[in-house]
Amino acid sequence: MRLYSIMKCFVEEKNYLSLDYFINKFEVSKRTIQNDLSYLMRISSRKGFQLHTKRGAGYLLEITNENLFNDFLDDLNSGVSFHVKERPSHILAYLAIQNNYVSIDSIAQTFQVSNALIKHDMKDVEKLANSYHFELEKRAHYGIRLQYEMTYLKKYLVEAYLNENVFIQSAVNEVVCDFDDVEQTLVKQLNKEGLTINYNELLNVIEYLKVIVYTSYVKKEQKDEFGFNQMDSIHRVAEFLISALEKKYHVFFNLESIKDVINILNKNIKRETGNLIESENLEEDIELFIKNIDEIYDSNFSSDEDFKKMLLAHVSLLIDRLHNKISYQNPLANELNITYPMMFNIAIQFCNMVHEKYDVEVTFDEIGFVAMHFATHMEKEKLGKLMSYNRIGIVCSSGGGSAYMIKIQIESLFPKAQVQTYSYIQQDELKAFEPDLIFTVIPLSIEIKAPVIYIKELLDDKDLVKIKQILQCEEYDPYILINEHPMYNSFYSKEFFKFVEANDYETLLKKLGHELEEKGYGQPGFTNLVLERESYVSTIYMNGVCIPHPIETDANKSIISVAILKEPFIQNDKEVKIVFMICLKKDQVEMYKVITQKLYLLMQNPAYVNMMVNVNSFEEMMSVMKLIGRGTNE
């Protein structure tokens, strides 16, 4: 594949490479190379690399995770190579872009497996096709093709395109190229109409427009006349867009496609309908809610006036939109649900309050937007906590060059603090300095009333990241930086590691939760809080990794209970392979983010998941955990 050859060029040249370099090397058009590089840049963060751009120079490869990157290269080198359980979904995508019947031989050749394996996969493909309202039509001596209604096909293509399916993206990008000017034109038109849209919503619109152009092209749609309402700003934008797209890509749109364009614009573009709710009542409800949250989590939402104003403005429009049956898509919602679980929990509770008081059903995507407001405040709060240290002392074995280097590094974390270095024999001077935080490479011989963190003589970037994580917790091990293992490793225990047999997720959660309660880790009612969280949004995530946790955090002791399924099972069309039940004390709630980000890296890599579910002991599991994220500042 050309993508593999492009990546090999980056690896071998180890320098900036221009568009012309690739155009001449592969003898393809500029737009083809631009599409390839655009695709690589979009998936880069999940594949262990980053492409940097420099005007006049081109593109430069940076490898951020060797394991992920090498796995990605292996997949590219094998042509179209997919994990066995992913193959049915990719076969469906392959069929979705065919205009005629496709033989089993052709499918097998595309996926580089035997005819027998493809025939075996077809049962799963048919089941998956039915879930999208497609039907598989099989005809002797011809092969297989999909039967569908265009509405369902477009919905599927958009979903697959946003999920970066290689077949769908390649097919769409081959037809729809140079879309940047369409995007810029749309933004200018929205500004002209006084309409607003955020980046994620703009992305939704752009990808949907690409799919509509693609389907119009391959299905050779005939032009239909449509009566646009000139009094409606969305209709005016739609008419402008359709005219521009037809002219640029030499296609025509039928009535269904025109209505699709209007619908996607209505769903993603913000506009006030003139029926906003009484903001005074909502302001009081928000104030009461966040005051209660502050009491539960010892947080400080109530004092952040900017946060409250932004939340009020967002929710005012949200309620109004939902009353008018308009909701926005949020491609970050699922990632927020995984990597900011506590903020997502708070957003769930907040949206429940909105539902009860204002009679609106808040979607999962909209909960994600609310969660972003709470997560943004918490990041500000954590930064404020770091900035609260004003006088920092550093104690080294001597006051030489290593001490100065550590001073520079610590000042980069605390730019407004006064940072002083001391040798071992200057401890009296350190005490007179009256520090509110101390970093030391040696045990102190005198008592000073300030938190102490023991460090190494040389700090690296990972140590600096860990310092931030440590200071965000109320309680921490002062020796954690000089120990080999991350702080959260202490939450894993051989006592709460097991191989289990189960065929129902809720029953399994009850079993694990009751064990934590009985052994004094979770408070009475812990299991019910886990099940309540589950009732809102499932914690069964990608590749069979599950991260159940309570809707409210207040454990007696922090622990992560791990259960590996002897035989995975399917729950609500999702596979359950391994369960990490998180039980944290209230003052360690910030560790949720650190833990779940690590587990997010796990679930993104099927190879790691496979290693994890095939371990034979607790020690093996912990060794796999060490491998995950290697090469990143985790």
Question: Using one digit for the tens of pLDDT, what is the confidence trace for 311-369?
Answer: 998 898 888 878 877 777 787 888 889 988 999 999 999 999 999 998 888 999 899 99
C-alpha 63/C-alpha 44 separation (Å) is 9
C-alpha 221/C-alpha 214 separation (Å) is 10
What's the rounded mean pLDDT across residues 586-603?
84
User: Does residue 233 contact residue 263 with C-beta atoms inside 8 Å?
Assistant: no
Per-residue pLDDT at 272:
52
User: What is the CB-side half-sphere exposure of residue 116 using CA atoms within 13 A?
Assistant: 0
How is 215-260 classified by DSSP, letter by letter?
Answer: HHHHTTPPP------TT-HHHHHHHHHHHHHHHHHT----HHHHHH
The DSSP letter of residue 351 is H
Range of 43-47, 557-561, 592-596 with top mean pLDDT: 557-561
Confidence band, pLDDT 50/70/90 cuts, at residue 473: low
Residue 396 has pLDDT above 90, yes or no: no
Per-residue pLDDT at 634:
46
Per-residue pLDDT at 275:
46
Residue 137 has pLDDT above 70, yes or no: yes
pLDDT tens digits, one per residue of 87-122: 888 899 999 999 889 999 888 877 777 888 889 889
Higher pLDDT, 275 or 332: 332
C-alpha 292/C-alpha 305 separation (Å) is 16
C-alpha 78/C-alpha 4 separation (Å) is 9
Residue 494 has pLDDT above 60, yes or no: yes
Higher pLDDT, 509 or 463: 509
Confidence band, pLDDT 50/70/90 cuts, at residue 633: very low
Lowest mean pLDDT of 217-226, 272-281, 371-380, 465-474, name the range.
Answer: 272-281
Q: What is the mean pLDDT of the chain?
A: 86
Which helix (DSSP H) or strand (DSSP E) does residue 188 occupy? helix 180-193
Angstrom CA distances, 543 to 181, 386, 501, 601, 605, stand at 37, 36, 18, 11, 8
Per-residue pLDDT at 630:
57
Residue 631 has pLDDT above 60, yes or no: no
Closest CA to 471 of 458, 460, 480: 480
